[in-house]
Structure 1
C-alpha cells in the first residue's frame, strides 16, 4: 500500500541508486533481544565510568541515545559503549527472524532495475552485514554504510552516511533515494539533497514522515518492489 503512486514512481524514476535504512525497512533489529534491556546494559557501563550521567542515561530505553550520550563521558566511555552496542547488535540480528515483509522483494527489484543498492544505517556495519549474510542478501547490496566509528555525531540525521554511500556508489547525492522509517532518515536525506521514501510501519508515522518532508510514503515495502518492476 502507498499514499501516492505517482509520487513514488517519480521519486524512483529520478534515482540511480536506492539506499535502504536497515532497522525498520529491512530488519526489526531488536525483535529477539529487546532494545530496553540493551539500553539498560549500556547505561550501566556508562554510569560506572561517569556517574554524573546517570539521570540522562536512565531516562531513555533507546540504545542509540545512550551511544549519542556517551561522548560526554570522554573517549574511554565512548569506546566501551560503542563496542558493547556493536556486540549487542550482532547478537540481536541473529535472533531477529525473517526480513521485514516485502523488503527482500524491494532489494532485488532495485538491483534488477539496474540501480545501485546500498544499506545506510545507524546500526553497526558488522550487524548489517551479518544479517544480510544470514538471509542470503549480501550479494544483492553493493555497499553497506554502517555507523561511523566512534562518531555518533555523524549518524543520521547527519547527511554524512548518505554522502558516503553516494560517493562509494559513484552516484550524485541528488540521484539517490533513501527508504527510511524515521524522521531522522528524512532529515538526513534532505540535508544530503537526496530524495526520500518514508516507510510508515507504525501508527502515526504516515503523518510524521510526511511532515518531515518525505517525497513519498509507503505503508508496505512491497509497494517499492512493485514500483520498481
Structure 2
C-alpha cells in the first residue's frame, strides 16, 4: 500500500472514535499546530563495507520483532506488494505518493526487501522496512529518498472515499546510528484529525532500513531513536534486544 494509505485506516478509525466521544460535548476549536522545522542538510551515505543481503528470509529475520517494541504492539498480516504498474491513491504532486512507502518499493534496484507492520494502542503504529543494494546503488538510493522528501515538504492527497488529506514534511533531530542516518517527520491531517509520524532511514552496510513511528500525539524522539538503534544491532547481527 502507498504512503497515503499507510496511515489512512488509522485516521478513519480515529475519526469515528472522535465523533462518538464528541457526542453531547461542546465543540471547541483545536489550537493551530506549530510549523514543522525545515529538513536539514542531505545526509551522505557512508562507504559500503561487507556484502548485500540477497536472501529475503534472512533480511526479514533481521527486522525488529515484538520483543524489541514498546508494550502492546501487535504484528499485522504481511502487506501485499504493490504491482509496479498499480495506481495508488493520488497525491499532488504525484511523486509524493512515495513518502513513507517501503524503500524497496519507492527505490528501484534492491536485491532484496522486506517489511513488517505493528499496530499499537490509541491508533499508533510502527512500520519497519529494509532493502539491500549492490555497493554502487546504496549511495544513490539514500540520496534519492532524501531528495523526494525535499520536493514533498507540503503535499495533499485524496483517499478512495474522496476524503482530503494534507501532509507536511519536516526535519527531525536524531542521534547518530548505523553508518549513516537521515530523519524526518510527517504530519498527516484529515478533517481536523492529525497523525504524527517520526521516521529514521538508516544505512547499515549495503542495507537501508526505514523505521516509522506514528501516533495521534507527538512521538517521543527517544522511542524512535531506541527502535532505530535496535534495528541497527539486528542488521549488524547482534543477538539480543
TMscore range, shorter length:
under 0.3
TM-score by length of 1: 0.25
Greater share of strand: 2
Which structure is richer in relative contact order (CA contacts within 8 A, separation 6 or more)?
Answer: 1
TM-score by length of 2: 0.25
Greater share of helix: 1
